A and B are shown apart, each in its own frame.
Chain A
Amino acid sequence: MKISTIILPLVIFLALFFYAPFIILGYQSFQGLGGEFTLDNYLALVRDPTYLHVILYSIVIAVETTVITLLLAYPASYYVARIASGQEKIILLALLLTPFWIDVLLRSIAIKTIIYTIGLREGYTAMMIGMVYEYLPIMFLPIYASMSRISRSAIDAARVFGANTWDLIRRVIVPMTLPGIVAGSLLVLLMSMTEFVIPSLLGGTQGFTIGSLIYYLFLSGGLWGVGAALTMIVTVMLMVFAFIIAKRTGDITAW
C-alpha cells in the first residue's frame, strides 16, 4: 500500500504517539507480574463480572448521550441552517459553538456550580447534563454541514410535487442529512464511551465508567496488566467501529 506523502507527517505522528504506545500496551497486557507470558489479565476481566458491568454501563451512558444530543441537535441544525439568516444565524452559531472552545475541565466545574444552585448534587442526572453539554457541538456540526448542503430548490421541488411537512422530513430532509446523522452519532457514541472527566467530576457514585476504571487500574490499583488488557479490548472495539463507520459513511456520501 502506497501512503501518499501529504499524509505522511500525520501517519508518523500517530505512529509515535498512538500506535507505538498501543503496541507496548498490547505487549504488557500479555505479561504477568514476573514478566512471563500469560492470559491471566484477560481472564481476570472475564472472571470478575464488575468489569463487564462497567463496560455495559459506559455503553448505556454513551447511547443515551448520543440519542439526547441527536434529538436536540437535529431540529436546531435545521433551524440554524435553513431558517435563520444573516445576523441571527451568526449569533446562534456562536452561541452553540462557544462551549466547544472551552476546556472540558472548566466547563465541568461551571456546570457543577449551576447544578448546585438548582439544588442538584453529583449523580446520574448531573453527569448526563454534563455529557449532553459536552457532546452537543460534536453532534451539531456534521449535521449542520449536511443540512446546509441541501439545496433550497430540492425542498421547493418536494413541496411543489405534493410533499406535506411530514413527507418533506421523511423523504427528503432526513435521507439527505443521513451522512451527517451517521457521522455525528458515531463520533459522539465513540468519544463519550471512554469519557473520563465528566463522569468523575459530575457523576459522583454513579460516575464509574470505563475511563474511571482504566484510571483506577493503572494509577490507584497498580494493576497494569489488567489495565492494559482492558485498554486493548476497548481500543480494538472502537477501531472495529471506526472501520465500519468509515466504510458506511463512504457508501452514504458516495452520491
Chain B
Amino acid sequence: MKGVEVYVEGITKKYGSTTALDGVTLRIPPSEITTLLGPSGCGKTTLLKIIAGLEPPTKGRVYFDGRDVTNLAPEKRNIGFVFQDLALFPHLNVFENVAFGLRVRRVPEAEVKKRVYWALDLVGLDPSEFARRRIHELSGGQQQRVAIARALVIEPAVLLLDEPFAHLDYKIKQRLLLQLKRIQRETGATVVYVTHDQNEAMAVSHKIAVMNNGKILQVGSPEEVYEKPNSSFVASFFGEANVLPGEGGFIVIRPERVLINPDRADTVYDAYIEDVVFQGPLLHIEARVNGKIIKIIKPRNGMVVKPGDKVRIGWLQKDVRVVPE
C-alpha cells in the first residue's frame, strides 16, 4: 500500500484570542514518518486535528495527494488516529475497540476477525489472551497498543500519532518505537508522529518539523536539523547545544564538538571543570568559561577530568553554526 502525500498550506487556527497555529505550511511526504517536534502548547495536536478534519482551520487549506480535503468530513478521510489520551471506547472490549473502524465500514464478520487478529499481532498483543479483555483491565502500555491497533486495522492512508508513547517506561518505549518503524515499513502508510521528546524524534523520523508558538521553525532530516539548526531555539530543543552570543547573532556549538586541551583548535578558552556526571558510556561535563557554563559530552574511555581541574577548551570553526536569533 502507498500512503498519500499530505500538504497543509498557510494554516492558521484561532481559539478566541489564542492563536494555536500561525500560518503553517508543511509538505508531508507519502509513506514516510514525519515528526512534529515542539514544546507543550505549540500547536501539534491542533495541526493533527486539522489534518484529520476534526477542527476546521481558521485560514488555509489541506490537500491529500493534491486533492483539496479542507471541507471533507473526518469519517471520509481514511485516517488512523492515536489520540493523546488514547480515547479508547470504555464500553467495548479490546476486540470491538480494534474492530470499530471495520464495523462502521460494514466489513463482513469473517474479514473483521481476520484483520483484528492481524492488527493485534502486529502490535504484539496475543489475540487469544487479550481480545475479550475490558479496556480498564489493561496496563497503560497495553492500552496504547490497542489504540495503535485500532488505528492500523483500517489500513489508513495517513496515520496520525499524538504523543503515543508518552508516560511509558523507557524500555517499553524503545521497543514500541522500533515496532512502529517496522509497521510503517510493512504498511507503507504516511505517518505523522507528534512528540515533545527529542530522543523519540531522533529514533523514529525520516523528517522532522520543529515547532514553537504555532509556527514551524525548521524542517529537515534529523541529521540536517541537528547539524544545521536555523535558530537557537531549534538548536536547544533538538539535541543539547551551547548557544553563545557571537557575530551576527549567536553561535551554536554541540557539546560533543567541544574539545578539551586540544592540540589544534580555532577558538580556545581557559576553563575550569565544575561538574562531571556519568551517563553510561558518556561523561557529561560542565566547564566554566568567564562565568558562563559550557556543556561538554565525551566518551568515558581515557577521559580523566574531575571537578576543579583547570583545562583549556576549544572548537574548530567548521563545527560552529551561526544563527540569527
Contacts and interface: CB of A to CB of B under 8 A. Distances in A.
- Please list the 6 inter-chain residue pairs (A to B) with the smallest Cβ-Cβ separation, ordered nearest first: A153-B87, A161-B101, A157-B87, A255-B90, A162-B104, A160-B81
7 contacts: A159-B74, A160-B79, A161-B100, A171-B104, A175-B91, A176-B89, A255-B136
B91 A255 contact: yes
Interface string A158-171: 11111110010001
A137 B168 CA distance: 44
A18 B78 CA distance: 59
Interface residues of B, number: 32
Given A160-B52, A162-B105, A172 B75 contact: no
A164 B52 contact: no
Contacts of B80: 160-161
B147 to A, nearest CB: 9
Contacts of B134: 255
Given A161-B150, A255-B91, A156 B101 contact: no
Nearest to B73: A159
A159 B75 contact: yes
Contact of A161 (B85, B91, B104): B104
B105 A159 contact: no
B101 A162 contact: yes
Interface string A174-187: 01101000000000
Contacts of A84: none
B277 interface: no
A154 interface: yes
A255 B135 CA distance: 8
Interface string A226-254: 00000000000000000000000000000
B103 interface: yes
A161 B149 CA distance: 12
Contacts of B193: none
Contacts of A163: 75, 100, 104
B102 to A, nearest CB: 9
A161 B83 contact: no
Given A153-B85, A162-B78, A176-B89, 19 more contacts: A151-B85, A151-B87, A154-B88, A157-B100, A158-B89, A160-B54, A160-B74, A160-B77, A160-B81, A161-B81, A161-B100, A162-B104, A162-B154, A167-B104, A175-B91, A175-B92, A176-B90, A178-B91, A255-B90
A91 B90 CA distance: 31
A248 to B, nearest CB: 15
Interface string B11-28: 000000000000000000
Interface of B: 49, 52-54, 73-75, 77-81, 83-85, 87-92, 100-101, 103-105, 134-136, 150-151, 154
A154 B87 contact: yes
Interface of A: 151, 153-154, 156-164, 167, 171-172, 175-176, 178, 255
A175 B93 CA distance: 13
B305 to A, nearest CB: 50
Nearest to A158: B100
Given A162-B154, A255-B134, A255-B136, A157 B103 contact: no
B92 to A, nearest CB: 8
A34 B54 CA distance: 76
Nearest to B84: A153
B83 A156 contact: yes
Contacts of A153: 83-85, 87
A210 B127 CA distance: 55
Contacts of B81: 156-157, 160-161
Contacts of B136: 255
Given A162-B104, A163-B75, A164-B104, A156 B54 contact: yes
Nearest to B91: A175
A174 to B, nearest CB: 10
A178 B91 CA distance: 10
Contact of A157 (B78, B89, B135, B154): B89
Which of B52, B83, B91 has the most chain A CB atoms inside 10 A of its CB?
Answer: B91
A177 to B, nearest CB: 10
B134 to A, nearest CB: 7
Nearest to A252: B91
A164 B76 CA distance: 9
Contact of B75 (A162, A171, A178, A255): A162
B88 to A, nearest CB: 8
A161 B154 contact: yes
Contacts of A151: 85, 87
Nearest to B52: A160
